Structure 1
Amino acid sequence: MEVEHSNEGKTKNKRARCELFESIVAYKSVKHVLEAWVKEGKDLTQAEVTLAIHNLRKRKSYAMGLQLWEWLRANTQFEFTEANYASQLDLVAKVHSLKKAEDFLKDIPESFRGEVVYRTLLANCVLKLHVKKAEELFNKMRELKFPTSVFACNQLLLLYSKHDRKKIADILLLMESENIKPTRGTYQFLINSKGLAGDIDGMDKIVETMKEEGIELDPEIQATLARYYLRAGLKDRAEEVMKEIEGKGLTQTPWVCRSLLPLYADIGDKNNVRRLSRFVDQTLRYDNCIAAIKAWGKLKEIEEAEAVFDRLVKRYKLVPMLPYFALMEIYTENKMLAKGKDLVKRVSNAGIKIGPSTWHALVKLYVKAGEVEKAEQILNKATKDNKMRPLFITYMVILEEYAKRGDVHNTEKVFLRTKQAGYVAQLMQYETLLVAYLNAKTPAYGMKERMNVDNVFPNRTLAVKLAQVDPFRKTPMSALLDD
């Protein structure tokens, strides 16, 4: 349920006006709004609910979206479709965990347990890089005789581009054998795979194939190509592509600023960043403003980034959250603790509820500034006072910092708190935990048994670390002494 984009990059359907959504945002209580809605005799139509969910997702208000679906199932005769169940499953995975999403799948009426629901779960497995679960689910979909969709294949391509590039060829062969036509997304994954591997010639061949297939190179793909040219040291080729992106002029294609600004920042071209920023100021498009803030941040021009943010606030009379996160990231990267704290206060004073994403940004700021203990205190206080469940990645930021220091006690403590918060133990948590033991030069007793209990199975990298912290590992010296 994402906003669609045309080939030119324009948004087809902007956030439409939705009374239900606006009421939920205003009252900050899904239950209160829905009870009042029913009491007043208003219809909860499929169109109204779907649009409200769509807009809540755009705001990343996933918990509110999930509450809306749950209330409808418990209190009304709302006729759920497979797409509705898929949306709820996706929100369960985002708000809770993959395990909870798997449990929810079993709870969906069998007649609605179709390909759309399964592929939604597959996308979340890929998002969390859970290779084993993703492969099992893909095979399950084939066992259930669902048609092998290009969406499912693209998800595995995305997964393997990050985890095991050797398997990409297997998916491409499967697509060819089942006559599954590649989409723009397929080619995007292949371009990324070649670009990350530094295979520029291979990347160019994929572009030629796209052109032969009649698939237009939109600004997003062109920007991807330019990034990989820059990474390969081919600045001239990158600049050629950047000129092509701007080809029709900014007035005709204002959305290309979001692609061009980071590229000019990457090559340190302040003049072009300033030129594009001036154009951005004329329209204050949300996406372009975020790109301008990030570009100025990359160039270490903090005041320029702050100025873009302030102009947005002045125009829209609110503190916009995505630009807020962009500015907070700049403060984090530059270890500007005081400014970051002031920004959080500003958001709070504007009457905006401080949610998990805001706390994550603040925790990351403290960790980057070298104050991991303070970051943990803030997180614990926020959890206790606001009855808030922190994001999984927030715990990981603290976990990784303690592990880097070889602080086994605190790493274990945060590891336990992550599980107590309802997050299922994953490969990456155990890998980080083992880093703490390695850096502390301390053996880890019973680690394999703990992993077995949590159904976590080591990959090659983790197996090496496990062997290194095994208290009963034979070293050349111990072997001699045993003899």
Structure 2
Amino acid sequence: MASRSLFLSLRWRGSNCSSWSRLLSSGTATTEYVDEYPNNSETDDLRSRIFRLRLPKRSVTTVIEKWVGEGNPVSISYLRQISKDLRKSQRFKHALEISEWMVSHEEYKLSDTDYAIRIDLMAKVFGIDAAERYFEDLPPTAKTSETYTALLHSYAAAKLTEKVEELYERIKESDLSFPALTYNEIMTLYMSVGQVEKVSSVVEELKRQKVAPDIFTYNLWISSFAAALNIDQVKRILDEMRFDSSCNDGWMRYINLVNVYVTASRLANAESSSPIETEKGITQREWITYDFLVMLYAGLGNKDKIDQIWKSLRMTKQKMTSRNYICILSSYTILGHLKEVGEVIDQWKQSTTTDFDIYACNRILSAFADFGLTEKANDLHLLLIQRNCSPTKD
């Protein structure tokens, strides 16, 4: 899509650009940069000067203006790269200042991606409401699939289900074409808040719009049925993937791996020493999650394989999340292995995980209650409170 400027009129610029500039600069732009510039030209570049601004309150705008005032050129591609590096370092306020500087100089023609990044930064620096206002104030030509998806991502990251669904309806009513990424955002939200039954309807809409699903679409779709232990539907999706014209070698590795765990006869006879060995050569973007494998084995009643996967996962350098613990606890509970349930809770107590999915935590507490595991429920509830998680408990 062709590049375009957000600021199509001086009036729009005056009412929005200046206000964001004041928020970003905080009135201290002329005194915040105190570092000495090195004389060595090889190390004195714009990126280095900006990265020496360690405190968020310091002004990137001042640094860029000084750089340009010294007669140095600065291209939009260079500014984009600096902004990308700042975002990787989670220096979102400084990255947003670069975006603001680009917007305020009409010689720079911003792309749809620039606008989308700006919305994401608005949400991170000023909050969801600011990002929402910014998006709504955009002229119609700037409301593209990328900016819609950026706002959708901000809503989904904050688990604002109602706002996601409202924006989703606007997306469906628009004349724009959206990529699989947009639908994946919605499915990811539904998975994270426990509304797995809604995932299939999103896939149906994606297909109705003739959008090609990607590996993440299939992974989320498969995982939604795995969470419900619907193995037959998992097999059906794998069959569909085989006939997908866009399926490449990476997808086939993914399909073949999942088949090892889905086909009961092969599960019973599998002798591989570790799931990790099976997954060698498959990238992080392609291989099925451990949680999914655990759920499949729980559905097949194979405790030995669950033990093996859990041991393998604990031996990796991967940081555990509450989802990992909830998944293994659910599986052992379903199979009636209460000794292992207690061991996993003890392992969770000794972990350093700070990521908690409140919806999943509530579900496992309810499951403990349904199974009459009052002591285990109390232990887990106490653990969650100690980790500053606030589950509801009957």
State TM-score, norm by structure 1: 0.46
Q: Deviations over 1:409-439 (max 9, x none)?
A: xx9xxxxxxxxxxxxxxxxx9xx59x5xx89
CA RMSD of aligned residues (A): 4.8
The change in CA–CA distance for 1:255 and 1:222 in structure 2 (over 3 A counts) is same
The change in CA–CA distance for 1:76 and 1:137 in structure 2 (over 3 A counts) is same
Q: Deviations over 1:218-261 (max 9, x none)?
A: 499579959987xxxx6975948644432xxxxxx5967x9799
2:183–2:202 Cα contact (<8 Å) kept: yes
| 1:167 counterpart SS class | helix
Residue of structure 2 in register with 1:137 after alignment: 167
Letter of the structure 1 residue corresponding to residue 110 of structure 2: F
Name which of 217, 235, 238 aligns with 1:204. 235
Residue of structure 1 in register with 2:311 after alignment: 268
Instruction: Compute the displacement of 1:126 (Å).
Output: 1.8
Q: Which runs of 5+ in 1 are unaligned?
A: 1-16, 247-252, 274-290, 296-331, 341-359, 365-399, 406-410, 412-428, 440-483
Instruction: Compute the displacement of 1:81 (Å).
Output: 2.5
Q: Deviations over 1:137-158 (max 9, x none)?
A: 1222333322354332222222
Name which of 225, 250, 254 aligns with 1:194. 225
Q: Does the alignment pair 1:46 with 2:71? A: no
Q: Does the alignment pair 1:181 with 2:212? A: yes
The change in CA–CA distance for 1:197 and 1:109 in structure 2 (over 3 A counts) is same
| 1:202 counterpart SS class | helix
| 2:72 counterpart SS class | coil
| 1:268 counterpart SS class | helix
Q: Which runs of 5+ in 2 are unaligned?
A: 1-42, 294-306, 321-346, 357-380
2:184–2:216 Cα contact (<8 Å) kept: yes
Residue of structure 2 in register with 1:245 after alignment: 279
Residue of structure 2 in register with 1:73 after alignment: 103
Q: 68-77 or 260-269, which moves further after superposition? A: 260-269
Aligned mates of 1:18, 1:333 — CA distance in 2: 48
Residue of structure 2 in register with 1:389 after alignment: none
Instruction: Compute the displacement of 1:20 (Å).
Output: 4.0
The change in CA–CA distance for 1:107 and 1:227 in structure 2 (over 3 A counts) is farther
Q: Does the alignment pair 1:292 with 2:317? A: yes
Letter of the structure 2 residue corresponding to residue 57 of structure 1: R
Aligned mates of 1:19, 1:254 — CA distance in 2: 39
Instruction: Compute the displacement of 1:207 (Å).
Output: 2.4
Aligned mates of 1:207, 1:167 — CA distance in 2: 19
Name which of 49, 73, 86 aligns with 1:23. 49
Instruction: Compute the displacement of 1:129 (Å).
Output: 1.9
Instruction: Compute the displacement of 1:70 (Å).
Output: 2.4
Residue of structure 1 in register with 2:191 after alignment: 161
Name which of 70, 85, 88 aligns with 2:115. 85
Q: 30-39 or 43-52, which moves further after superposition? A: 30-39
| 1:27 counterpart SS class | coil
Aligned mates of 1:108, 1:88 — CA distance in 2: 12
1:226–1:241 Cα contact (<8 Å) kept: no
Name which of 147, 158, 172 aligns with 2:203. 172
Aligned mates of 1:105, 1:74 — CA distance in 2: 17
Q: Deviations over 1:158-189 (max 9, x none)?
A: 23333423333322332333322222221121
| 1:292 counterpart SS class | coil
State TM-score, norm by structure 2: 0.55
Residue of structure 1 in register with 2:14 after alignment: none
| 1:186 counterpart SS class | helix
| 1:129 counterpart SS class | coil
Aligned mates of 1:62, 1:135 — CA distance in 2: 27
Aligned mates of 1:403, 1:244 — CA distance in 2: 34
Aligned mates of 1:182, 1:261 — CA distance in 2: 19
Aligned mates of 1:101, 1:293 — CA distance in 2: 33
The change in CA–CA distance for 1:198 and 1:293 in structure 2 (over 3 A counts) is closer
The change in CA–CA distance for 1:182 and 1:260 in structure 2 (over 3 A counts) is closer
Letter of the structure 2 residue corresponding to residue 82 of structure 1: D
The change in CA–CA distance for 1:207 and 1:254 in structure 2 (over 3 A counts) is closer
Instruction: Compute the displacement of 1:103 (Å).
Output: 0.8
Aligned mates of 2:283, 2:126 — CA distance in 1: 34
Aligned mates of 2:271, 2:183 — CA distance in 1: 30
| 1:118 counterpart SS class | helix
The change in CA–CA distance for 1:167 and 1:255 in structure 2 (over 3 A counts) is closer
The change in CA–CA distance for 1:63 and 1:182 in structure 2 (over 3 A counts) is same
The change in CA–CA distance for 1:212 and 1:111 in structure 2 (over 3 A counts) is closer
Aligned mates of 1:66, 1:401 — CA distance in 2: 41
Letter of the structure 2 residue corresponding to residue 145 of structure 1: D
The change in CA–CA distance for 1:57 and 1:170 in structure 2 (over 3 A counts) is same
Q: 20-29 or 46-55, which moves further after superposition? A: 20-29
Equivalences, count = 275
Aligned mates of 2:115, 2:172 — CA distance in 1: 21
| 2:136 counterpart SS class | helix
Letter of the structure 1 residue corresponding to residue 186 of structure 2: L
Q: Deviations over 1:287-306 (max 9, x none)?
A: xxxx63648xxxxxxxxxxx
1:27–1:33 Cα contact (<8 Å) kept: no
The change in CA–CA distance for 1:403 and 1:209 in structure 2 (over 3 A counts) is closer
Residue of structure 2 in register with 1:35 after alignment: 65
2:225–2:231 Cα contact (<8 Å) kept: yes
Instruction: Compute the displacement of 1:113 (Å).
Output: 2.3
Aligned mates of 2:308, 2:51 — CA distance in 1: 35
Letter of the structure 2 residue corresponding to residue 55 of structure 1: D
Instruction: Compute the displacement of 1:191 (Å).
Output: 1.9
